[in-house]
Amino acid sequence: GICLGSQLIAKTFGGKVYSGPKKEIGFYNDLKVSDGSGLFSGFQNPFTVFHWHGDTFDLPEGAINLASSEHYQNQAFRYKSAVGLQFHLEVNEEMVNLWLDNTEEKLQKIPYIDPKKIRSDIDENISIVKSNMKNFYNNFKSEFQL
């Protein structure tokens, strides 16, 4: 599950979902991979993702934390055959611009989020995020023998 999907997986298996310490919206190069995570094999550590969330969750009992960041301990996890990613690797330029187009007025009210900066960061970061997505997909297929 991606973003809300990760929260739903966590909640379904007994985790608690709640508001996080601050919204994360934009490109971040701060995700740290937990030791031994084959799903993130070959990733830089830390690695770059696109965030669009303000909520977080506690891991269900038995879940394995796969990645964390400064403000959010649970950025990625695995629970049996379910995988939750709080961040977005699936985005492309059009998606980021569309999300910004539809929310720019609201985002401008959050002092530490700059929609113009996020737009200007697209060219520098989108190819990195796409590469991370491709790497994750290949690792996922390998990990689950698909």
Q: Tell whether the model's pLDDT for residue 35 goes beyond 90.
A: no
pLDDT digits (tens, 9 = 90+) for 96-140: 999 999 999 999 999 999 999 999 999 999 999 999 999 999 999
Distance, C-alpha 30 to centroid of its chain: 11
Distance, C-alpha 88 to centroid of its chain: 4
Residue type, 27: F
pTM for the full model? 0.93
Domains of the chain, by residue range, sit at: 4-137
Per-residue pLDDT, 36: 73
pLDDT digits (tens, 9 = 90+) for 50-88: 999 999 999 999 999 999 999 999 999 999 999 999 999
What distance in Å separates the CA atoms of residue 136 and residue 38, rounded to the nearest whole number?
Answer: 9
Question: Which single residue is written with the structure tokens 């187009």?
Answer: 101
Q: Is 27 helix (H, G, I), strand (E, B) or coil?
A: strand
- In the residue annotation, 3 being an active-site residue is answered as yes
Q: Does domain 4-137 have CATH number 1.20.1530.20?
A: no
Q: How many residues can be counted in the chain?
A: 146
What distance in Å separates the CA atoms of residue 31 and residue 132, rounded to the nearest whole number?
Answer: 12
In the set 3, 24, 51, 53, the catalytic residue is 3
**Cα-based angle 55, 59, 63 (whole degrees, multiple of 5):** 145
Per-residue pLDDT, 95: 98
Going from the C-alpha of 74 to that of each of 70, 103, 119, 124, the distances in angstroms are 10, 25, 26, 26
In the set 70, 88, 93, 105, the catalytic residue is 88
Q: Is 141 helix (H, G, I), strand (E, B) or coil?
A: helix
- In the residue annotation, 90 being an active-site residue is answered as yes
Q: Model confidence at 37, in pLDDT bands (50, 70, 90)?
A: confident
Per-residue pLDDT, 101: 97
Q: Model confidence at 14, in pLDDT bands (50, 70, 90)?
A: very high
- In the residue annotation, 88 being an active-site residue is answered as yes
Instruction: Count Cβ atoms below 10 Å from residue 62 Cβ, excluding itself.
Output: 10
DSSP assigned state of 109: T
Average pLDDT over the chain reads 96
